[in-house]
């Protein structure tokens, strides 16, 4: 895959084209929890989630939003020559708090001229219209991009139940539609190597988010950490993770059915080193990413190659008239 002719819609290139420079995400860690942990929906959270949620790479949540933004900004400027930034509220469910506190955090994030956007990680069943109305006004007032990152993981409702997500596919679809009505963008998080999903689920994931017109997708390779339900299932052999070669095949298949206009933020994830039992088949996330890109090249395929089968065009490929 050459840099001039990528086979999928790469996030860094999209941001550089949109904002005219190097753009990096600044992770921010808020004090909070999740309704799937505190008993509102369930206790214990998703079966793969430990006590830190997804915030293991963040600064301590005892630091103010401004201090976290300032420290991370300086780091990315020095290490990557970053010019502009998106503040990313990463860990836990960031709309699951009083609206007044939410407004305070969001305003603190948008206080600098080199901040061009805010990304807010949350659950589909915690997308409240009052919060969306505020974000719509904030976007207009500050002239910044605002994305809502929704953890879906899979469109398979049976697997959603198995991993104890605590929400359904219908709630995800409803959240996307309401976010879009405010002119805000959506990033969908998916895990393509869940033990209870198959290739049909991989294709359906791509078809559903393409049909909904989301802007971004972020793929996570499933990792397993200590002191989780998934950790216990993995150690006992009741949760078997697919081989690396199958994961590469799944990502390629997913991309083939994905609308080419959707921006791919990530092809593979990584887990917390200090507590991980399994992560990326014992190799680096970067190598897994390279394997996926090499597979796209070797198979001469690309994002959206099979997306034409949406919107009824398969009928025309089969030679049926439109009458």
For residue 203, give both structure tokens: 């294709």
14 in helix, strand or coil? helix
- Using pLDDT thresholds of 50, 70 and 90, give the confidence band for residue 309: low
Give tens-digit pLDDT for 113-169.
Answer: 899 999 999 999 999 999 999 999 999 999 999 999 999 999 999 999 999 999 999
pLDDT at 57: 56
Domain boundaries, the chain: 11-308
> Which pLDDT belongs to residue 3?
54
Q: For residues 271 and 12, give the distance between their C-alpha atoms in angstroms, rounded to a whole number.
A: 22
Q: How much of the chain exceeds pLDDT 70, in percent?
A: 91
In the chain, what percentage of residues exceed pLDDT 90? 78
DSSP letter at 86?
E
CA distances to 151, 237, 285 from 280, in Å: 20, 18, 6
Q: Is the dihedral of CA 164, 169, 174, 179 positive or negative?
A: positive
Structure confidence by residue, pLDDT tens digits, 266-286? 999 988 878 899 999 999 999
pLDDT in tens, 1-45: 555 679 999 999 999 999 999 999 999 998 878 888 888 888 788
> From the CB of residue 113, how many other CB atoms can be counted at a distance below 10 Å?
6
Strand, coil or helix: what is 17?
helix
User: Of the ranges 44-48, 205-209, 237-241, which one carries the lowest mean pLDDT score?
Assistant: 44-48
Instruction: Say yes or no: domain 11-308 is CATH 3.30.230.10.
Output: no
Q: How many whole angstroms separate alpha carbon 51 and alpha carbon 39?
A: 15
CB atoms within 10 A of CB 213: 13
Q: Is the pLDDT of residue 317 over 50?
A: no
Q: 256 and 306 in contact (C-beta within 8 Å)? A: yes
| Site of tokens 């593979």 | 268
- Complete DSSP assignment for 209-277: HHHHT-SEEEEE---EESSSHHHHHHHTTSS-PPPHHHHHHHHHHHHHHS-TTSEEEES-----TTTEE
Assign residue 311 a region (left: φ > 0; alpha: ψ between -120 and 50; beta: otherwise).
Answer: left
pLDDT at 32: 79
Residue scoring higher pLDDT (92 or 193): 193
Nearest to 13 by CA among 257, 310, 303: 303
Q: How far apart are CA 97 and CA 53, in angstroms?
A: 16
Work out the average pLDDT over 235-264.
97
């Amino acid at each position: 895959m050459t840099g001039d002719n990528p086979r999928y819609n790469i996030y860094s290139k999209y941001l550089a084209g949109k904002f005219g420079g190097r753009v990096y995400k600044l992770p921010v860690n808020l004090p909070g929890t999740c309704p799937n942990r505190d008993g509102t929906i369930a206790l214990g959270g998703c079966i793969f989630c430990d006590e830190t949620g997804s915030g293991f790479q963040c600064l301590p949540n005892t630091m103010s939003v401004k201090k976290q933004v300032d420290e991370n900004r300086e780091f990315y400027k020095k290490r990557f020559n970053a010019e502009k930034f998106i503040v990313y509220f990463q860990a836990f469910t960031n709309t699951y708090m009083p609206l007044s506190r939410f407004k305070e955090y969001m305003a603190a994030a948008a206080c600098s001229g080199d901040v061009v956007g805010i990304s807010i990680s949350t659950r589909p069943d915690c997308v409240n219209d009052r919060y969306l109305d505020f974000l719509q006004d904030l976007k207009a007032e500050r002239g910044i991009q605002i994305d809502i990152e929704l953890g879906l993981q899979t469109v398979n409702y049976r697997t959603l139940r198995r991993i104890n997500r605590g929400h359904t596919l219908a709630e995800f679809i409803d959240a996307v539609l309401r976010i879009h009505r405010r002119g805000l963008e959506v990033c969908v998080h998916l895990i393509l190597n869940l033990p209870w999903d198959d290739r049909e689920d991989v294709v359906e994931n791509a078809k559903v988010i393409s049909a909904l017109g989301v802007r971004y997708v972020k793929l996570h390779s499933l990792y397993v950490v200590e002191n989780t339900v998934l950790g216990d299932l993995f150690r006992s052999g009741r949760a078997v993770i697919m081989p690396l070669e199958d994961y590469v095949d799944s990502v390629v298949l997913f991309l083939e059915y994905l609308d080419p206009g959707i921006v791919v933020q990530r092809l593979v994830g990584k887990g917390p080193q200090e507590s991980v039992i399994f992560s990326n088949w014992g190799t680096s996330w970067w190598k897994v990413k390279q394997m996926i890109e090499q597979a796209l090249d070797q198979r001469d395929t690309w994002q959206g190659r099979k997306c034409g089968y949406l919107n009824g065009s398969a009928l025309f490929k089969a030679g049926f008239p439109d009458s």
